[in-house]
Amino acid sequence: MGNSHSHRKHRNSLSQNNNSSSSIATPPHYRYGAHHYPKQQHCNRTMVSSKISLPYGRVDTTLRELAAKAEGFGRFAIGGLHGPLYHVTNLAGFFHDGPGSLRDACRRKEPLWIVFEVSGTIHLSSYLNVSSYKTIDGRGQRIKLTGKGLRLKECEHVIVCNLEFEGGRGPDVDAIQIKPNSKHIWIDRCTLSDFEDGLIDITRESTDITISRCHFSKHDKTILIGADPSHVGDRCIRVTIHHCFFDGTRQRHPRVRFAKVHLYNNYTRNWGIYAACASVESQIFSQHNIYEAGQKKVAFKYLSEKAADKGAEASGRIISEGDLFINGTQSGLIASNNLECNNFHPREHYPAWTVEPPSHDLKQVLQHCTGWQSMARPLDQTVEHGAHDEAVPIYPFQTHSIVASLPYARVDSSLRALAGSAEGFGHSAIGGLRGPLYHVTTLADDGPGSLRDACRRKDPLWIVFQVSGTIHLSTFLSVSSYKTIDGRGRRIKLTGKGLRLKECEHVIICNLEFEGGRGPDSDAIQIKPNSKHIWIDRCSLSDFDDGLIDITRESTDITISRCHFSKHNKTILIGADPSHVGDRCIRVTIHHCFFDETRQRHPRVRFANIHLYNNYSRNWGIYAVCASVESQGRRRWHLSIFLKRQQTREKKQVAA
């Protein structure tokens, strides 16, 4: 993605204190792996110098081009990419509002891309809860939320774009409250001011969030990241804040506990207490920002607090790289007293971002091109993913006319049409949709060009094969998040060991064979713990020493479709054992699969919710399906039930 920046030195500017005069010096011009797109089209172009390369030059070309386009930690946020449009047609804001309201859209469980057919103010009488896979897209109208704010609670993949928030009243009322356990969030081009508590609060283990091009004003406690010293789980929090304008807000730009925070190309002016504050164990990387003091001259503040699991108080650390301190601003940088708080660099977490020198031109742009923008709503055109991917052969079935009504008729029309196309609980799985192709060129267990090398990488990848044959795995092959392992076009067999999906999300496995796995606890596909949004499609699985597919330890939102299971005993286990009550969250769909004389577990289930439809199970050795502790299954009265009953009659006839 653009130019590599790994060769560049990043200095800890603890001794750097650019107390300049009112004139703004221009440091050397460089990029961190950024593509240079055209300038923004919807702010005042007379304020945009030709010297400035802003991010997101293409996100307004079509409606859904926003999806997965954030820079920084929130870069995977897809919002309602794979859902239909929801048209907000009224400004109702009370708790019991109905169809056509923003609250009605946000409470729905399915993915939605929410747009507005009206402009005006929505008076919220209570927090508006936003569920997962939603884009709240204010482009094309002018929408202001007042009274209360948005609450992103235990949700993921939410994009909030081009809204205004003003006049929130009541205790603990934030404009946008992100807690607990929410992730993959992008807040872009919003105007936020005058709430009684915070403008944006990110706490209680919520992470992977980007805040970009926002305008903050008329407020005291602007952005809080990390709840309090007792919530040590907030060590997981990661936030990027860039190209924002903090316009005379008093403090917290941001205030940080525990988290890793990347600040770049922001303009903060005339604060009342401080610009940014590093408290217990926080790590702030401040890069090419503009800090312009008013009466209070010190930009950075440190507060010592004691983490609940530590014996002594400590503050956080701030690294300043290329920041500009003007109008008599003093950086306030000091060495941290917390030796356990390591410095982090953004390049350890994402490969590219757009960063400009902190110049007068950048300052002008941030004053006029942040916050809500007057612009037309882009057209909603189908986003053609992977336009340059090679074609995938289509394999038409010719066995029976019933095939005409089978699912997934279009998933082979282009390489990436698989993404987001699963039926059932795994319907949101996108795999490596937004990543480049990785070509597997060798059947070796490891090394460049190998499947293992591709699966261990942290960035999204769509993995395809240039070879056919058998890959002998000496150990479990661990698959990281946002991967598609796509065997279409080749014949790939995995043997020896299987795939392990551990603490990952958004993985698609398609058109592979698994056979001959050896060793204790050796499964063909092992999904545990805490993995989700998985789709396993058109795989052949047989003859492993343990299971073929195990789904346990709070892994959920999984679909298994069109797979062939044979020559095996314990086929599919869902739910670990009676002691793992956390498995009550598990949800799995299994459909259009062929259980071909496998002995048992089609599947065996503890705790989970399971939907089985259109499967064919024949000639089992012990049972077809087993429901154990608190499991809940639903079967659709279709081909699967008919064939099971037919098979039962056949067995009785043989016995007679």
Instruction: Please report the pLDDT score of residue 337 as a whole number.
Output: 52
Q: Choose among 231, 185, 232: nearest CA to 207.
A: 185
Q: Which listed residue (151, 189, 252, 587) is catalytic? A: 252
| Residue 181 · residue 206 · CB < 8 Å | yes
Question: Residue 61 corresponds to which amino acid?
Answer: T
Annotated catalytic, 636?
A: no
Instruction: Please report the pLDDT score of residue 572 as a whole number.
Output: 98
Q: Choose among 187, 225, 185, 175: nearest CA to 205.
A: 225
Please give the model's pTM, rounded to 2 decimal places: 0.74
Please list, in sequence order, all residues whose beta carbon lies within 8 angstroms of the beta carbon of residue 213, skipping any fewer than 6 positions away: 56, 188, 189, 243, 244, 369, 370, 371
Instruction: Please report the pLDDT score of residue 589 as a whole number.
Output: 98
Instruction: Please report the pLDDT score of residue 340 as a whole number.
Output: 58
Rounded Cα gap, residues 404 and 400, in angstroms: 8
User: Which residues does the chain have with pLDDT short of 50?
Assistant: 1-41, 45-46, 383-404, 636-656
Please list, in sequence order, all residues whose beta carbon lies within 8 angstroms of the beta carbon of residue 543, skipping any fewer than 6 positions away: 515, 516, 517, 567, 568
CA dihedral 83, 242, 5, 50 (to 10 degrees): 100
How crowded is residue 529: how many other Cβ atoms within 10 Å of its Cβ?
15
Q: Is 222 exposed, middle or buried (0-12, 13-18, 19+ CB in 10 A)?
A: buried
Local structure of 425: helix, strand or coil: helix
DSSP state of 592: S
Q: Choose among 629, 609, 521: nearest CA to 558.
A: 609
CA separation (Å) from 273 to 15, 86, 221, 254, 367?
Answer: 22, 42, 10, 12, 21
Rounded Cα gap, residues 253 and 275, in angstroms: 5
Instruction: Please report the pLDDT score of residue 381 as a whole number.
Output: 78
Q: Choose among 256, 245, 255, 333: nearest CA to 292.
A: 245
DSSP states of 67-131: TT---GGGTT--TTTTS-EEEE-----STT--TTSHHHHHH-SS-EEEEES--EEEE-SS-EE--
Question: Residue 168 corresponds to which amino acid?
Answer: G
Instruction: Please report the pLDDT score of residue 393 as a whole number.
Output: 38
Q: Which domains does the chain have, with CATH numbers?
A: 45-368 (2.160.20.10), 401-655 (2.160.20.10)
| Residue 560 · residue 589 · CB < 8 Å | yes
CA dihedral 238, 79, 69, 281 (to 10 degrees): 0
Q: What is the pLDDT of residues 488-530, one digit of tens each?
A: 999 999 999 999 999 999 999 999 999 999 999 899 999 999 9
Instruction: Kindly state the tokens that stand for 630.
Output: 């608190």
